[in-house]
Structure 1
Amino acid sequence: MKILLVILFVIVWVGCSTDTVSNATPMITKTGDKEFNYAYTFLYYYYYLAEDELKSSDYYLTNPDTVIDKEEYADYADVYCMFREMSDLMTQYFPPDLFQKVNQAITTSPVNTKSFGMELDENLRVKYVYRFGPAATAEMKRGDQILAVDSTFFSTDSTDFTEQYQSVLQKKTTDDFDFTILRGKDTLKISMTREDVISPTVYVDSIDNIPIIRVTEFTPITNGFQNDGSAEEFEAALKETDGAKSTVLDLRGNPGGSTELCTRMAMDLLPAGDTAFIQLEWKPKGTERSIQASYFVNDKDGLGSGRYYVLLLDGNSASCAEIFATAITSNLKAPIVGETSFGKGIGQVYSKTPEKGYAVATSMLLFDKDSVSYHMFGLEPDFTIKNADSALTTAVKIAKERKEKRTAGYSERVNSYWLRVKRKAPESVEERLRDWTRGLAIQEVSVE
């Protein structure tokens, strides 16, 4: 069990002058351009290490040694340098030309290009049909067996149907296809046109009558939903599997997302009165910078409360996925199968800037219901199994027996990611974006 650890690094970066300057004062700058003023105010109120790291505004505005990655970012050099000076790995500034990419990462699940809006197993049997997309429009059904595409029948002698299928799709220069499928005893002809399709984030499957609900991220806009996508999908999955005594929750590879959504989804599984997690948050209170503690307590029995749950996690289960997992394990003692999770027990706020850039700052420290932090360490599995298929098999077996309770705690080893030096070398903004989206626990704010 770990109490909160915050490591402060003494960092030297060639891109910014390292002269000692006094810490920020309560007075927000009145000089500089609108983008800088907004970003400085944002950090002052929300960045949890601002008292120790944010210097006077003049330091960033007059610094002669600012070096940036691309010449076109020269107009934002002072803002760029200021955010680089903050030691926290997740506190970042993204200039306006990355607005669409950042907005996509924050608000929308991945878009599949040239997609039919369905997923197939290795035998070309339909596993999932998305709510919206060509397959849904054509009334494809789960369990349909694809026999042929454009009159090319797939050889029953082959052990790799997927390769044959992809070969047919890749050879064609247009997006219109005719499918021959087997549904039960009936052979049907169905036509579909590929298009760009937003992916779902929640998938329902089953093994030996044990429901398996896989959650890939916690995102507002998903296939068929425009506001609370992942939560709406998850609640639909709980209704679909209503009556099940046990369920496997697969969060492997889930990088996180919206704190509002993962909190709501965790509450869906808890009985009334359970505390999902505790949050310390830096934010303005009037004109003052303040620290506020919040306890997220369920006010009613959740839609899926009363079931026995088993969690699947791995090293890429991060941030909001860990908030969700911690709420379930600390309250329900649900066992974990797989690998140690990423270990991100901090959360961020983000804000659109006047020039349509994005400012992001770590402003939240997250704790389980017992006020214990897993930050930098992650959740240790009760059953350590690296092989994905073996882990799933074990999780299903445990769910069927419903006897195991969580006994493991948080890892004793710090994830090496948290020992990285943020400014060791100037990296591209694209690299920072990829790294940043690895573990999201975010909520939007606006600076007045």
Structure 2
Amino acid sequence: MKLKDGKMRWIIKSLLCIFVLFTMLGASSYKAYAMDDDVLSQAKGIIEKYYVDEIPESKIDSAKNMDELLKLLNDPYSQFFSSKGFQDFTDSINNRVCGIGVQIEMVPEGVNVMAVFKDSPAMDAGIKVGDIIVESDGHSLAGLTTAQSASYIKGDEGTLASIKVKRGNDSYTYNILRKEIVAPTVEGKMLQSGAAYISIGTFGESTRNEFKDVLDKLKDEKPTGYIVDIRNNPGGYLMTAREIGEFFIGAEPIVTLKDREGSYKLKPVISDAKMFNRPVILLVNGNSASASEILAAAVKDYKKAFIVGSKSFGKGTVQSPFILKDGSILKLTVQRFYSPFGNPINKVGVQPDLDSGDEDPLLISELLLGNKKGGIEINVSGRKFAMDAEKAAMPENWMAAKRIIEQAISSGTLSVNSADGRINAVSSNAEDLWRIFFPGYDKAASLKDVPCDRKFSIKTDKHVDTQSIGSNDIFLVNVASGSRVPLDFKNAADGEIEIKPSQNLEAGATYYLVVSDSFEGASKPTVTIVDVKK
């Protein structure tokens, strides 16, 4: 019970979670079953009193069964569960399952093993990430849905699952004893870039303590910043969102709740949590929902984290479970929620500060939080970052860095070093992009209508053994993709070096021929813009 303005507010454990079929084997869906009139009458009374919107009593009374009652709400998040079905639902929020201990995704042949949980029956049996489970207990999994496949692999604790696995060209059969597994909801590690990475899979009962333990360990590593990943996190408990929010926003209100009685703000649950002491980037996507969106909206309002990714799911409602007389559960929408500043979330979602588009948001975040060597300064959505130009120009980082540059120029500011000091970049087209990737370099030339089989040459200040030229000394990079064309070098007359691409250039493409500052044969680093004939 909770009092507000002298009125009773009925809340058990508020749930903020999109109801999905979890791919952690062991989660099961509910099955509707017949109920007596007393239970149906009880459910009608609960909806009449607590549903977020007022429903005419005549409509409620007209429902002859639970299906009709829920249909008149037109609310995908208000649902009826058997007692067992609801237990499975809450177990999935807490990553508690009864199965073999793997995380899966569907592939045409069956299910692909994405992760094997530590100390699980699957790990003990020898199941590996990348294995394809093609059969379980004699049932082929090819062409099934995730839920159908899971129903064949999961089962009661202590029962055997006969699993047929394809690994490369080989097949194996395992008899695996099912058991209850509690997988962590939070995982963390240090990245090579120097940033700390924390993934929150769901907002369960133990998530707060797991998060604190992971964070405390990573703080000892003195990271350059933190990347907190709530992509594909469907939500969980409102209380847990409040607990995690404390690490980001301290004692500020984390969410605005509205129901039929009015609205009020909730603050985080204050404990011994210490706020982040380094820059934080929060990763979101279209499957970040509910409790995830409470966190994302709050940190965006207070500018306590920079959000990278894509727009979140847009589920801005709170559900509470009501226990009916026969032990079944009515999960009912009782509130809508908004950001602390009142911004809507339901059917709207939370927009990222930097939209990653088709690029990897984790890689984008590493570039923003990595080594600050290099001259690219970025200001997006009022947040300042410095990006290492040398690292950004590497083939594996080029497209992510290019996305950052495009977003910064279109919605913020970006400046780089040049021979004339710092300059603001105003364009990301090929004629200007080289100044950003290679700050301080000079433009040697701009070549137009170059044939696909063109050879190049550069004049050196001294004799250079071409066998000593490294891949980062002189290189030819495709501006559109960041891929580099292998080059062959040969000494020519008058101190020149002939450069021959090992393959024809792409028709209509633009390349940069870069003589870097690591090349000892040139007095200054240069970029030649090469436009290939269409």
* TM-score (normalised: structure 2): 0.48
Give the distance between the partners of 1:341 and 1:407, measured in 2 at CA: 21
Structure 1 partner of 2:368? 398
Aligned partner letter, 1:37: S
For the pair 1:115 / 2:92, whether they are aligned, the reply is no
Q: Check 1:128–1:315 CA distance in 2 against 1; reply closer, same or farther (3 A cut).
A: closer
Give the distance between the partners of 1:313 and 1:395, measured in 2 at CA: 12
Q: Following TM superposition, by how much is the alpha carbon of 1:169 offset from its aligned partner in structure 2, in angstroms?
A: 9.6
Give the distance between the partners of 2:170 and 2:323, measured in 1 at CA: 40
Structure 1 residue matching 2:175: 3-state secondary structure: coil
For the pair 1:267 / 2:208, whether they are aligned, the reply is no
Deviates more, 1:300-309 or 1:238-247: 300-309
- Say if 1:279 and 1:294, in contact at 8 Å, map to a contact too: yes
Give the distance between the partners of 2:327 and 2:206, measured in 1 at CA: 25
For the pair 1:376 / 2:347, whether they are aligned, the reply is yes
- Say if 1:344 and 1:378, in contact at 8 Å, map to a contact too: yes
Structure 2 residue matching 1:172: 3-state secondary structure: strand
Structure 2 partner of 1:46? 50
Structure 1 partner of 2:218? 241
Q: Following TM superposition, by how much is the alpha carbon of 1:346 offset from its aligned partner in structure 2, in angstroms?
A: 1.6
1:87 to 74, 77, 93: 74
Structure with the largest fraction of strand:
2
Q: Check 1:171–1:100 CA distance in 2 against 1; reply closer, same or farther (3 A cut).
A: same
RMSD: 3.8
Mark the structure with the bigger radius of gyration. Answer: 2
Structure 2 partner of 1:346? 317
Deviates more, 1:195-204 or 1:165-174: 165-174
Q: Following TM superposition, by how much is the alpha carbon of 1:303 offset from its aligned partner in structure 2, in angstroms?
A: 2.8
Q: Check 1:348–1:115 CA distance in 2 against 1; reply closer, same or farther (3 A cut).
A: closer
Alignment of 1:366-445 (within 5 A): 366-387=337-358, 390-400=360-370, 406=381
Superposed CA offset, 1:254-277 (max 9, x none): 111111111111112333x32222
For the pair 1:211 / 2:177, whether they are aligned, the reply is no
- Say if 1:276 and 1:297, in contact at 8 Å, map to a contact too: yes
Superposed CA offset, 1:222-253 (max 9, x none): xxxxxx22222212111121243510011111
Superposed CA offset, 1:39-70 (max 9, x none): 122212221112xx2423xx655x4xx6xxxx
Structure 1 residue matching 2:248: 3-state secondary structure: coil
The runs of 5 or more residues in structure 2 that have no matched partner are 1-35, 104-113, 130-164, 373-377, 384-534
- Say if 2:242 and 2:268, in contact at 8 Å, map to a contact too: no
Give the distance between the partners of 1:196 and 1:301, measured in 2 at CA: 32
Give the distance between the partners of 2:369 and 2:348, measured in 1 at CA: 26
Q: Check 1:314–1:55 CA distance in 2 against 1; reply closer, same or farther (3 A cut).
A: same
Between the two structures, name the one with larger relative contact order (CA 8 Å, sep ≥ 6).
Answer: 1
Superposed CA offset, 1:365-414 (max 9, x none): 212221222221111122222446x2111011222369756459xxxxxx
Structure 1 residue matching 2:228: 3-state secondary structure: strand
Structure 1 residue matching 2:367: 3-state secondary structure: helix
- Say if 1:251 and 1:313, in contact at 8 Å, map to a contact too: yes
- Say if 1:210 and 1:248, in contact at 8 Å, map to a contact too: yes
For the pair 1:55 / 2:57, whether they are aligned, the reply is yes
Structure 2 partner of 1:258? 237
Q: Check 1:330–1:359 CA distance in 2 against 1; reply closer, same or farther (3 A cut).
A: same
* TM-score (normalised: structure 1): 0.57
Superposed CA offset, 1:193-217 (max 9, x none): 8855332221212322211111111
Structure 1 partner of 2:256? 278
- Say if 2:102 and 2:115, in contact at 8 Å, map to a contact too: no
Aligned partner letter, 1:104: D
Structure 2 residue matching 1:327: 3-state secondary structure: helix
Structure 2 residue matching 1:257: 3-state secondary structure: strand
Aligned partner letter, 1:100: K
Superposed CA offset, 1:339-366 (max 9, x none): 1111112211122222232212221121
Q: Following TM superposition, by how much is the alpha carbon of 1:87 offset from its aligned partner in structure 2, in angstroms?
A: 2.9
Give the distance between the partners of 1:302 and 1:329, measured in 2 at CA: 20
Give the distance between the partners of 1:278 and 1:212, measured in 2 at CA: 29
Structure 2 residue matching 1:269: 3-state secondary structure: helix
Q: Following TM superposition, by how much is the alpha carbon of 1:333 offset from its aligned partner in structure 2, in angstroms?
A: 4.0
- Say if 1:275 and 1:369, in contact at 8 Å, map to a contact too: yes
Give the distance between the partners of 1:401 and 1:350, measured in 2 at CA: 48
Superposed CA offset, 1:93-132 (max 9, x none): 33x3xx3233212243263732389xxxxxxxxx999676
Give the distance between the partners of 2:170 and 2:181, measured in 1 at CA: 17
Give the distance between the partners of 1:35 and 1:407, measured in 2 at CA: 54
For the pair 1:337 / 2:308, whether they are aligned, the reply is yes
Superposed CA offset, 1:263-295 (max 9, x none): 111112333x3222222245xxxxxxx445233
Q: How many residue pairs align between the two structures? A: 295
- Say if 1:262 and 1:321, in contact at 8 Å, map to a contact too: yes
- Say if 1:341 and 1:378, in contact at 8 Å, map to a contact too: yes
Give the distance between the partners of 2:172 and 2:319, measured in 1 at CA: 45
Give the distance between the partners of 1:299 and 1:365, measured in 2 at CA: 23
Superposed CA offset, 1:318-347 (max 9, x none): 111101111222223422111111111221
Q: Check 1:268–1:334 CA distance in 2 against 1; reply closer, same or farther (3 A cut).
A: closer
Give the distance between the partners of 1:404 and 1:103, measured in 2 at CA: 47
Q: Check 1:375–1:406 CA distance in 2 against 1; reply closer, same or farther (3 A cut).
A: farther
Q: Check 1:398–1:328 CA distance in 2 against 1; reply closer, same or farther (3 A cut).
A: same
- Say if 1:270 and 1:328, in contact at 8 Å, map to a contact too: yes
Aligned partner letter, 1:232: N
1:326 to 297, 307, 318: 297
Aligned partner letter, 1:115: G
For the pair 1:174 / 2:178, whether they are aligned, the reply is no
Give the distance between the partners of 2:380 and 2:245, measured in 1 at CA: 18
Give the distance between the partners of 2:101 and 2:293, measured in 1 at CA: 31
Q: Check 1:174–1:348 CA distance in 2 against 1; reply closer, same or farther (3 A cut).
A: closer
Identity %: 20
Q: Check 1:239–1:80 CA distance in 2 against 1; reply closer, same or farther (3 A cut).
A: same
